[in-house]
Amino acid sequence: MKKILTLLFVSVLGGIITLSAYKLWIEKDSKFFVATNEAQPTFIPTNKTTSNLLYNADSVDFTQAAENAVHAVVHVKNTTVSQGGPVTLQDLFYGRSQPRTQVGTGSGVIISPDGYIITNNHVINGARQLSITLNDNKIYPAKLIGTDEKTDIALLKIDADDDLPYVTFGDSDQAKVGEWVLAVGNPFNLTSTVTAGIISAKSRDLSGVNAQSFIQTDAAVNPGNSGGALVNINGDLIGINTAITSQTGSYIGYSFAVPSNIARKVVEDIMEFGDVQTGILGVNILNRNSKYAIENGLNEIDGVYVSGIEENSGADKAGLKNGDIIKRIDNIRISKFADLSGYLNTKRPNDVVKVTIQRDGNEKIIPVTLSKYEISSVEYLDMQLKNIPKQAKEKYNIDNGVLVIKNNNYSLYKNLGINEGYVITEINGEKINSVEDINKLQQKYGDNLTKISVINTNGQKESFIFR
């Protein structure tokens, strides 16, 4: 019995010594070894910021912005009347047709508690009757306050008993490429729809004549979204959703919005003046892809190249010259004409802008007072053409057209008598409202002239067809 107890004691003592040794040396070394591997990885380097944006769904919260915008975005119904097809044998014989009612829909954004609503001009164009459906399904008749076809912006007004929810304008000039945005509207009549994306580009022109300056986004926008809100994650309005580019007519990856700074200026002008006040700098900008630009190494400049100065314009009076390179307007960097036109679309005549130019290798800042749009002119077919002042249109009862202020085209002058003082109303069957239409025609037809309609200095209308 004594031997058994002695053997048991020795076994227990040996186990204690073995366990203590493991705890003291082996296990301690193992902990140290594992900790070292965790603290000093030797793999591929990663960017923690990028990983968080890609995989952490909690890094951006859209809920508050969506909540604010949804209640301020409305459904716009536009009722128009068009001529339908022949319905009887007599109608067919006499060429008569019956009027037909058509209904179009889109979106709008409430921008004040008293019921002013901004939308797209193409949403309400030709309307006989307009109605607005709020997010709570209340329906109100709407009054058209004014429109601007150039920017595709329209202003409506409804009268409600109570203050309405609205969104505040943000500063679209401060919006950044890569910034999160929400598109809110009524695609396919699905009310209160919110989609998310990022700003893909700014100052995007879809016309090919540098007449537009859209914000491009990859937030899904479809038919019915037009006139709806593009908001940042704070819920501020930074754009009015306007267009998509698609071969199918539906969203395929990119959509476009009128920047809020342009939209705000347009509605403020409509409310204060009744129409849009356009201020111009008075410079002609060289096309980057022109033969002259390529041959003279001007395609790669940082800025836009001034190729001409409008006489008596703000640029002329301030001392801008041919060959100047405009690099900034105020604090806005200018790298293409759409940057310049987009920013100037937020300004009015007599506003002063600081133009940073490069001349003879040196930079200088020149204050320029913007001129009225009426002084703007363009050269086409060796003629100098100018917008007709609004007062002259009213005085001489002219609906549309551009004024010929100089004609160096011998054929048009000698054979047709078109001279200074004539008003050109149509070219190749297309109505001319302003010199911007001339720019579009240059892009479309070049110098190919098939028909021209004019009003001569006696007020008579004439048309000439070229074979």
N-to-C CA span, the chain: 134
- Asked whether the CA dihedral 205, 103, 112, 182 is positive or negative, the reply is negative
CB contact at 8 A, 76 and 123: yes
- Per-residue burial over 281-295, b if 16 or more Cβ lie within 10 Å, else e, is bbbbbbeeeeeebee
Burial class (CB in 10 A: 0-12, 13-18, 19+), 188: exposed
Burial class (CB in 10 A: 0-12, 13-18, 19+), 265: buried
**DSSP secondary structure code for residue 23 in this structure:** I
Residue tagged 């960017």 (tokens): 47
Please report, to the nearest 10 degrees, the dihedral formed by the alpha carbons of residues 330, 333, 339, 342 taken in order.
Answer: -30
Q: What is the C-alpha to C-alpha distance for residues 353 and 369, in angstroms, rounded to an integer?
A: 7
Residues 6+ apart with CB under 8 A from 410: none
Helices (H), 371-434: 390-396, 410-416
Residue 177 to residues 182, 199, 212, 425, Cα–Cα distance (Å): 14, 5, 18, 41
* Residue length of the chain: 467
Active site residues: 122, 152, 226
Q: What is the C-alpha to C-alpha distance for residues 151 and 258, in angstroms, rounded to an integer?
A: 7
Q: What is the C-alpha to C-alpha distance for residues 432 and 396, in angstroms, rounded to an integer?
A: 17
Q: How many CB atoms within 10 Å of residue 133?
A: 17
Q: What is the C-alpha to C-alpha distance for residues 205 and 372, in angstroms, rounded to an integer?
A: 23
- Per-residue burial over 155-187, b if 16 or more Cβ lie within 10 Å, else e, is bbbbeeeeebbbbebbebbebeeeebbbbbbbb
Residues 6+ apart with CB under 8 A from 156: 76, 108, 116, 117, 118, 119, 124, 130, 132, 142, 143, 144, 145
Query: Residue 71: which H helix or E strand, with range?
Result: helix 63-72
